[in-house]
């Protein structure tokens, strides 16, 4: 392993650990140390800013990440401009409503968890739990990475159905 690879792994994993512990500023600092050639750098910074509640920086870096990963500039700019406008006009709730509109048309491996996250952010527990139920069956890797650490699910943590869901999940192991 060359030093650049080791350095990359250190930054990558340290950033994730900080994010999972909700130390967002430290996570952002770790991701900032990654070489600018890493396409995930801005994506993970954007996620950390979003989890921190800094929508302005999350939108800015999310747009840069999508463009760096080869997204169509017209589509990427339209999406992130719409999210920025939604946030400026209606705050976090309107941002998530608009995010839901975009997510409904997607269908990749992370789709089910993003739907659960979005519905949880909108305090729509029934829909969030429905998508979590699908995610555990259809995309268990994505589910396992996010269920216990993603702050989007904080709105569900006091819901007895969510607690029962987690209890059942861990009972099966």
Banded pLDDT at 3 (limits 50, 70, 90): very low
Q: Express as a percent the part of the chain with pLDDT over 90.
A: 66
pLDDT at 36: 73
Alpha carbon distance 144, 139 (integer Å): 9
123 in Cβ contact with 93 (< 8 Å): no
Which residue segments constitute the domains of the chain, with CATH numbers given? 1-88 (1.25.40), 106-173 (no CATH)
Calculate the alpha carbon distances from 173 to 72, 146, 164, 168, 169 in Å.
Answer: 42, 17, 15, 9, 7
With vertex at residue 163, the alpha carbon angle to CA 161 and CA 166, rounded to the nearest 5 degrees, is 110
Tell me: pLDDT of 1 over 50.
no
Question: What does the pLDDT look like over 40-55, one tens digit per residue?
Answer: 889 999 999 999 999 9
User: The whole model's pTM is what?
Assistant: 0.88
Tell me: pLDDT of 173 over 60.
no
pLDDT at 2: 41
């Amino acid at each position: 392993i060359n030093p650049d690879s080791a350095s990359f792994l250190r930054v990558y994993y340290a950033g994730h650990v900080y994010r999972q512990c909700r130390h967002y500023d430290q996570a952002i600092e770790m991701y900032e140390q990654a070489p600018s050639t890493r396409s995930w750098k801005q994506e993970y910074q954007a996620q950390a800013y979003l989890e921190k509640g800094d929508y302005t920086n999350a939108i800015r870096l999310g747009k840069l990440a999508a463009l760096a990963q080869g997204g169509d500039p017209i589509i990427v700019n339209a999406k992130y401009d719409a999210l920025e406008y939604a946030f400026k006009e209606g705050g976090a709730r309107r941002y998530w409503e608009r995010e839901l509109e975009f997510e409904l048309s997607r269908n990749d491996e992370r789709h089910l968890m993003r739907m659960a996250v979005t519905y949880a952010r909108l305090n729509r527990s029934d829909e969030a739990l429905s998508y979590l139920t699908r995610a555990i069956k259809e995309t268990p890797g994505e589910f396992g990475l996010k269920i216990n650490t993603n702050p989007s699910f904080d709105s569900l943590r006091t819901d007895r159905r969510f607690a029962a869901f987690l209890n059942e999940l861990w009972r099966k192991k």
